[in-house]
Amino acid sequence: MTRRGFFYRIWKWLAVIAGLEIAGISIAFIFTGKRKEQKSDQLKVLARIEDIPPGTVFPYRIGQLYLVRLKNGGFMALSLKCTHLGCSIRWYDDSQKFICPCHASEFDMRGNVNKPPAPRALDIYKVVVEDGLIKVDLGKRIKRTKFEKSQVTFA
């Protein structure tokens, strides 16, 4: 290799490295500058136990969730966001199911998928029952594939 070719190659690689550095710095800047997700463990009191009889679904839209009391008395907090593409699901009392307005996915009271295209059960929030109060941890949305008994909190 000639000396000129050698230097040319060095310059080329330096340019590539510099380019990558600039791209890396930009992405790091955008990513860390923007991420302010609350990861708190703050429990929010939503209701008293006696306010919510078994078998009812109670919207709490500010927190973007539904507080559900199953027929057996257990509590769940289901995210409003459809797992398909993120529209807000709605509870229909007469047919006893959640329906998504966007592509018509359906979920049962426990958040399980009744009808696709939604690929998995609704996300949940942790529910804690203390002193007769129902508290929900709004800081963390928990993903799941389908309903399991351990997701239910009993009074």
Partner 1 sequence: MPNKQIKEENNYFPESVRTRNVFRNLILHLHPVKVRRASLKFTHTFGLGGMVALLFVLQVFTGLILRFVYLPVVDHAYESILQINQSVFFGQFIRNIHHWSGMLMVILTFLHLLRVFYTEAFHSPRRSNWVIGVVLFILVIFSNFSGYLLPWDQLSFWAVTVMTSMLEYIPWAGGWLAQLIRGGSDVGPVTLLNFFTFHTALLPMSVVILMAFHFWKVRKAGGVVIPGGKANPDKEYINTVPHLVLKELVVALVLVGTILLMSVFFNAPLLEKANPALSPNPAKAPWYFLGIQELLMHFHPFFAAILIPLLFVGMLFWLPYSRFDKMSLGIWFVSEKGRKLCLRVLLFTIVVVPILVLSNEFIPDMIGSASGWKAMVLEGLVPFLIILVVLWVWVIILYKKKKYSKNEIVQAVFTFLVISYLTLMIIGIWFRGEGMALMWPWKV
Distance in Å, CB of 111 to ligand FES, minimum: 13
The DSSP bridge partners found for residue 66 are 59, 78
Q: Is 129 in the site for partner 1 (CB under 8 A)?
A: no
Alpha carbons 18 and 150: distance in angstroms, whole number = 51
Burial 120-131 (b: 16+ CB within 10 A, else e): ebbbbbbbeeee
What is the x/- site pattern for partner 1, positions 67-86, by CB under 8 A? -------------xx--xxx
Single out the segment in contact with partner 1 by CB under 8 A; choices: 43-51, 67-75, 98-106, 131-139: 98-106
Q: Cβ of 151: how many Cβ atoms within 10 Å? A: 19
Distance in Å, CB of 126 to partner 1, minimum: 17
Q: What is the CA radius of gyration of the chain?
A: 24
Alpha carbons 60 and 71: distance in angstroms, whole number = 19
Applying CB under 8 A, the residues found at the interface with partner 1 are 27, 30-31, 34-37, 61-62, 64, 80-81, 84-88, 90, 99-104, 112-117, 119-120, 141, 145-146
Applying CB under 6 A, the residues found at the interface with ligand FES are 82, 84-87, 100, 102-103, 105, 117-118
